[in-house]
């Protein structure tokens, strides 16, 4: 049986699924680009699709540069950027981005995602959260757990495919345990196709 690539695997998921994608920190750049390729180009470029990308690790401008390299149409992606303000990387805001003051503003993040879901109603919507680890740096575990429980259940009920990026070491972490309670599946990006 030939190996199934990440894009095919994500495309096969039913609407309303929530999946965690585990990236190996030793191969982060390769895994991150593979995830962007699979989520933004393979799944997000479908004619009836729109991607809402929550940036907490990399500013929206950086992610958009990579998306452009993958030929992702500008009208197929919107950003909720929660990192540019605190990184002082806000000189040239993107027209397809909405900016949140801090990754600690979890309620504001949920409201911005809700706003974009209403602004861009599509038959297939994808929400990418980049990443749970960065959110964990800025938020207490109880608040983060509540945030993911509310956000992912809301997105599931609206048939939104939700992809949460997670960088993990070998051992199981509290973040991984928390995610396992709210996602339907976890995919190790380094093992896809092996």
Contacts of 35 by beta carbon, 8 Å cutoff, 6+ apart: 6, 21, 23, 163, 165, 189
Using pLDDT thresholds of 50, 70 and 90, give the confidence band for residue 193.
low
Average pLDDT over residues 33-61: 91
Task: Name all domains of the chain by residue range, CATH numbers in brackets.
Answer: 6-191 (3.40.50.300)
Round to whole Å and give the CA distance between 145 and 163: 16
**Exposure class string for 37-55: b at 16+ Cβ within 10 A, else e:** bbbbbbbbbeeebbbbbbb
| Cα 188 to Cα 194: distance, rounded to the nearest angstrom | 11
pLDDT at residue 92 greater than cutoff 90:
no
Task: Say whether pLDDT at 171 is over 80.
Answer: no
pTM (2 d.p.): 0.93
Q: Any idea of the CA torsion for 8, 10, 177, 153, to the nearest 10 degrees?
A: -160
Return d(Cα 47, Cα 104) in angstroms, integer: 34
Asked if pLDDT for residue 135 goes beyond 50, the answer is: yes
Q: Read off the pLDDT of each residue in 126-146 and give the average, rounded to a whole number.
A: 95
The confidence band for 45, taking pLDDT boundaries of 50, 70 and 90, is: confident
Is residue 161 within 8 A of residue 43, CB to CB? The reply is: yes
SS3 (DSSP) at 30 = helix
Is cis: bond before 131, omega within 30 of 0?
yes
């Amino acid at each position: 049986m030939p190996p199934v690539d990440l894009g095919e695997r994500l495309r096969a998921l039913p609407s309303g699924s929530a999946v965690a994608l585990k990236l190996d920190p030793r191969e982060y750049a390769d895994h991150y680009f593979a995830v962007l390729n699979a989520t933004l180009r393979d799944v997000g470029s479908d004619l009836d699709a729109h991607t809402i990308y929550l940036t907490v690790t990399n500013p929206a401008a950086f992610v958009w540069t990579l998306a452009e390299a993958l030929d992702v149409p500008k009208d197929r992606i919107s950003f909720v950027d929660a990192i540019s303000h605190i990184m002082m990387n806000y000189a040239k805001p993107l027209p397809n981005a909405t900016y949140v003051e801090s990754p600690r503003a979890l309620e504001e993040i949920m409201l911005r995602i809700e706003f974009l879901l209403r602004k861009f109603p599509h038959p297939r919507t994808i929400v990418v959260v980049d990443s749970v680890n960065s959110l964990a740096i800025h938020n207490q575990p109880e608040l983060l757990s509540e945030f993911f429980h509310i956000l992912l259940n809301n997105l599931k009920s609206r048939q939104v495919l939700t992809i949460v990026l997670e960088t993990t070491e070998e051992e199981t972490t509290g973040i991984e345990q928390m995610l396992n309670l709210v996602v339907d599946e976890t995919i190790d990006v380094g093992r896809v196709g092996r």
